[in-house]
Amino acid sequence: MNDWLPILATTLAAATPLIFAGLGELVTERAGVLNLGVEGMMLIGAVSAFAVASSGGGLLLGTLAGIGAGMAASALFALLVLHCLANQMATGLALALFGVGLSAFIGRDYVSHVLDGVSGYTLLDGLPPLDPFIVGSLGLFALVQWFLYRSRGGLVLRAVGESPSTAHALGYPVRLIRWAAILFGGACSGLAGAYLATDYTPMWVEGLSAGRGWIALALVVFATWKPARLLAGAYLFGGVTILQFHGQALGLAVPSQFMSMLPYLATIVVLTLISRRGHAIRLNAPASLGQVWHPDS
Amino acid sequence: MNIDRRTLLKGAAAAAGLAALSPLHALAAIPKPTLPLKIGFVYVSPIGDAGWTYQHDLGRKAVEESFGDKVQTKYVESVSEGADAERVIRDFAANGHQLVFATSFGYMNPTLKVARAFPKTVFEHATGYKQAANVGIYAARYYEARYLAGIIAAKMSTTGTAGYIAAFPIPEVVMGINAFVRGMRSVNPDAQLKVVWVNAWFDPGKEREAALTLAAQNADVLTHHTDSTAVVQAAEEKGLYAIGYHSDMSKYGPKAHLTAATHHWEGFYRKVVQDVIDGSWESSNVWGGLKDGMVDLAPLNPVVPGDVAALVAQKKQEIIDGKLHPFAGPLFDQDGRQVIGAGASLTDEELLKMNYYVEGIVGKLPK
């Protein structure tokens, strides 16, 4: 038990940013919008959260700033793809690159500053203190799961993702719903960034997210657009990293490069399965994903 | 400052090869520059507050301070090791910079390419292995400071186990790991070192995860050969000790930070600039250590007892005097095979090819 507790704790922590960003992107994609800019929104959220928190704003305000900045970045994306009818993939990639540059620019004066980090609260004696972000990620999962499958709003959102023209004909405000889904995705990415910059590694350095946004994107596909599978996938991806570190330190002869490759390999396997046994899995893929849609078309 | 000419033959052969290719370039002497001497620095990462590039920038500032009006320095930071590097280096040369410092391994080929086009410009390339008539190379013997840090780690550890977070299994990194455990075992023959490879020079999240992993496995002194300060921060958080790298990282973990294995380019940069101004610069291969002041230990944390500090100071002097070599025989690898016997030390060439763990390390070296 004592050996497993630290592994469990670090796995939870490693999976948390993936859960936040992954859930946000999942909701966005369920509304039929593919936003590849997760990495960029995450970095913009991270640097904003860090800037506010380290300038005396405190962690709560910092986290809110991160969420707000993520939303602002996603609003730009929404404007381009929903109103200017820009290609979603190109715009998303541009947002990812823009986010890397913008966050580095904003963060110039904060490079290598450090924060105290978040102190967890103890739930049960003997257990390690719980981190509010980790608890929050589980809460967000429950919320998304409930919203998508148990609420009317979720049903409408999924309908928009499947066939925006049908939803439009039924009188649903497709563009507004997509706006909301994109903003939610941005908020979640910003939150993931805020977690990285204020809690996980409480500092700001260029490229802090180190590719986690891309893993989150892969995770949505890996999870075949289902929140519960996304949660499991995040723990799997997080756990693989942690386990390979433990294996190395214990002297197990597993090539670390192979273990580092596993999450991506798993995603490729899922993608292959989707394309081969399409009927079973593609059912979950939003039918209008990535397609430009305009009310007058 | 003393200059070590490692693999002199190799360098001469390379120079000869280059001479055969382009005789004009090899023969053309570097002319005395017009003052102020314009100097360009190419950095691989942002300068920031600590780290590899920060140490190089200290060198640049030292040059400005020493030479005043005689020099004009310029730098470009965050230059990635690809096509960008060649453009930046070429820009410097084309804009009248007569001395360019390229401070990352991956700038090797771009530097050589630009150097062929600008035979009268002096280039100094850090940590590479290809020289030319107007391209000198330089690096530091980080392993000497690592050995001393290992002594401190073993003395401060209560579990006898230290943790090492490493980037990529290249000789430079392996050398540091081996020197660290040799230092540890010189004062505690049973000491162990656990190594975790994160396969990234810079990934604060992974570095932190690796640090926590090692902490969970009884390592109570952590050190790293990666570029962020995450390991020192994680040690501070867990109430462990840490040994920084590149720069003094004490402000990231005031309680945890015992010392750091640091690099210092000030002296070398001043010498190169002086030589270029005097017109006496020649392409050379510099691998400087404690003796040359190119590596050192950051000030020790007050928690390090006086006798340990004295021991470290003594060992440092012995290395400087050439009486102690961190890789002196008898040297056994991890499997107990003898690499060299008593009375011999690894040569520089053997060091630069190091691809095995010495005894005392847990785990297998990734191939």
* Residue B203 distance to chain A (closest CA, Å): 6
Of A241, A242, A251, the CB nearest to B364: A251
List of chain B residues whose C-beta atoms are within 8 Å of the C-beta of residue A10? 209, 212-213, 216
* Helical ranges in chain B per DSSP H: 8-21, 23-27, 52-67, 83-94, 108-117, 142-156, 171-187, 204-216, 230-238, 266-278, 306-320, 348-351
d(CA B109, CA B98): 19
Query: Average of pLDDT values for B135-143?
Result: 94
pLDDT tens readout for residues A161-184: 999 999 999 999 999 999 999 999
Global ipTM: 0.74
Rg (CA), chain B: 21
Q: Assess if residue A287 is contained within a domain.
A: no
H or E element, residue B202: none
Give burial (CB, 10 Å; 0-12/13-18/19+) of A216: buried
Asked if the model's pLDDT at residue A253 lies above 70, the reply is no
Asked if the model's pLDDT at residue A237 lies above 50, the reply is yes
Give the domain range for residue A265.
4-282
Q: Kindly report the CATH number that applies to the domain delimited by B142-262+295-362.
A: 3.40.50.2300
d(CA A178, CA A157): 8
Q: Architecture of B8-141+264-288 per CATH?
A: 3-Layer(aba) Sandwich (3.40)
Q: Assess if residue A93 is contained within a domain.
A: yes
* Residue A229 distance to chain B (closest CA, Å): 24
Asked if the model's pLDDT at residue B71 lies above 60, the reply is yes
Q: Please tell me which residue of chain B has the smallest CA distance to A17.
A: B205
Q: Assess if residue A145 is contained within a domain.
A: yes
- Candidate from A127-141, A182-196, B123-137 with smallest mean pLDDT: A127-141
Asked whether the beta carbons of B50 and B245 are under 8 A apart, the reply is no
What are the CA-CA distances from residue B269 to residues A127, B2, B38, B298 (Å)? Answer: 53, 14, 14, 20
**What pLDDT, on a 0 to 100 scale, did the predictor assign at position A201?**
82
Residues of B with CB under 8 A from a CB of A: 45-51, 78, 163, 194-200, 202-210, 212-217, 219, 228-230, 233, 237, 251-252, 362-364, 366-367
Looking at residue B23, its amino acid is: P
Query: Average of pLDDT values for B251-275?
Result: 94
Of B78, B209, B228, the CB nearest to A245: B209
* Residue A215 distance to chain B (closest CA, Å): 14
Which residue in B175, B123, B162 sits closest to B346, CA to CA? B175
Which residue in B126, B124, B140 sits closest to B273, CA to CA? B124
Query: Do the two domains B8-141+264-288 and B142-262+295-362 of this chain adopt the same fold?
Result: yes
Say how many domains are in chain A. 1
d(CA A123, CA A227): 26
Quote the Cα angle for A182-A187-A188, to 5°: 100
* Residue B92 distance to chain A (closest CA, Å): 23
d(CA B179, CA B157): 17
Q: Please tell me which residue of chain A has the smallest CA distance to B250.
A: A114
Sorting pLDDT into bands at 50, 70 and 90, what band is B15?
A: very low
**What pLDDT, on a 0 to 100 scale, did the predictor assign at position A38?**
96
Looking at residue B6, its amino acid is: R
Q: Assess if residue A294 is contained within a domain.
A: no
List of chain A residues whose C-beta atoms are within 8 Å of the C-beta of residue B223? none
CATH for A35: 1.10.3470
Q: Assess if residue A203 is contained within a domain.
A: yes
**What pLDDT, on a 0 to 100 scale, did the predictor assign at position A119?**
58
Asked if the model's pLDDT at residue A262 lies above 80, the reply is no
pLDDT tens readout for residues B186-215: 999 999 999 999 888 888 888 998 999 999
Sorting pLDDT into bands at 50, 70 and 90, what band is A115?
A: confident
Question: For a pLDDT cut of 70, what percent of chain B falls above it?
Answer: 92
Instruction: For chain B, give every domain's residue range.
Output: 8-141+264-288, 142-262+295-362
Asked if the model's pLDDT at residue B367 lies above 80, the reply is no
Contact A246 B213 (CB under 8 A): yes
Of B46, B205, B230, the CB nearest to A111: B46
pLDDT tens readout for residues A150-159: 999 999 999 9
Query: Average of pLDDT values for B130-146?
Result: 94
pLDDT tens readout for residues B283-297: 999 999 999 999 999
* Residue B210 distance to chain A (closest CA, Å): 6
- What mean pLDDT value characterizes chain B? 89
Of B49, B215, B216, the CB nearest to A111: B49
Quote the Cα angle for B63-B67-B71, to 5°: 85
Q: Assess if residue A87 is contained within a domain.
A: yes
State CA B71 to chain mean position distance.
Answer: 26
**What pLDDT, on a 0 to 100 scale, did the predictor assign at position A161?**
93
Q: Assess if residue A295 is contained within a domain.
A: no
Q: Assess if residue A137 is contained within a domain.
A: yes
Contact A249 B233 (CB under 8 A): no
Asked if the model's pLDDT at residue A16 lies above 90, the reply is yes
